[in-house]
Amino acid sequence: MITLRYFEKKDFKQLTDWVETAEFMLQWAGPSFVYPLNEFQLKEYLKDANKKDSTSYIYSVIEEETQKLVGHVSLSRIDRNNRSARIGRVILGDPNTKGKGFCCQMIQQVLKIAFDELNLHRVTLGVFDFNKAAIACYEKAGFQKEGLMRDHQKFGDDYWSLWEMGILEDEWRKITERA
């Protein structure tokens, strides 16, 4: 089991340690950061986050049993007028956590915040088409593929395609009623 808590300065080092290559950073955060990830960029990332009416909430993922930091996730682009937001920067950095269902728990907890606490109507995310494990996790949480953005991101000589995925509040409610 995992718990989400707000991302803090004390978590910076662990996150920068997880983001070891420019390729991984692009997969994790898109073009939002410049490699190598550093404290200055993370301070900017946190600057207006995690306040009462923020447009982004940034979380550290804590394994309950060990109280160890194992991941990171954000809920951003919060638009209270349109009741929408976007999940991003999803990472399970500790290799010992792979295959334990933590990613799905993380997404479920963020959706609970989005739909139950923030009363949102729609949550989206983007995932590169080669990230099959993440796509399976998001679909399990109730996300639907809404469109493929072909050759969306260039890395070196390659182009990566991105699935746009979304879930609506009534879809979330149906899933949580069954659980």
Question: Mean of the pLDDT values across residues 114-135?
Answer: 97
Which is higher by pLDDT, 98 or 159? 159
pLDDT value for 178? 86
Q: Please report, for the domain that includes residue 21, its CATH number.
A: 3.40.630.30
| Percentages of the chain per state (helix, strand, coil), in multiples of 5 | 35, 35, 25
Q: Between β-strands 84-92 and 122-128, what pairing exists: parallel, antiparallel or unpaired?
A: parallel
Given a cut of 90, whether residue 37 has pLDDT beyond it is: yes
Residues forming beta bridges with residue 178, ordered by sequence position: none
For 29-54, the DSSP string reads HGGGS-SSP-HHHHHHHHTT-SSTT-
pLDDT value for 84? 98
Q: For residue range 93-110, list pLDDT tens digits in order.
A: 988 888 899 999 999 999
Q: How confident is the model at residue 14 (pLDDT cuts 50, 70, 90)?
A: very high
Phi–psi pair at 153, nearest 5 degrees: -130, 130
The residue segments making up the domain with residue 58 are 2-178
Omega before 36 within 30 of 0, i.e. cis: yes
Given a cut of 80, whether residue 152 has pLDDT beyond it is: yes
Lowest mean per-residue pLDDT among 27-31, 36-40, 57-61: 27-31
Q: For residue range 132-146, list pLDDT tens digits in order.
A: 999 999 999 999 999
Question: Mean of the pLDDT values across residues 152-177?
Answer: 97
Total number of domains in the chain: 1
Question: Mean of the pLDDT values across residues 29-50?
Answer: 95
Given a cut of 90, whether residue 179 has pLDDT beyond it is: no
pLDDT value for 81? 98
Q: Which two tokens stand for residue 143?
A: 């996300």
The DSSP H or E segment spanning 95 is none
Given a cut of 90, whether residue 70 has pLDDT beyond it is: yes
To the nearest whole number, what is the mean pLDDT of the chain?
A: 96
Question: Mean of the pLDDT values across residues 70-77?
Answer: 98
* pTM metric for this prediction: 0.96
Q: How far apart are CA 29 and CA 141, in angstroms?
A: 21
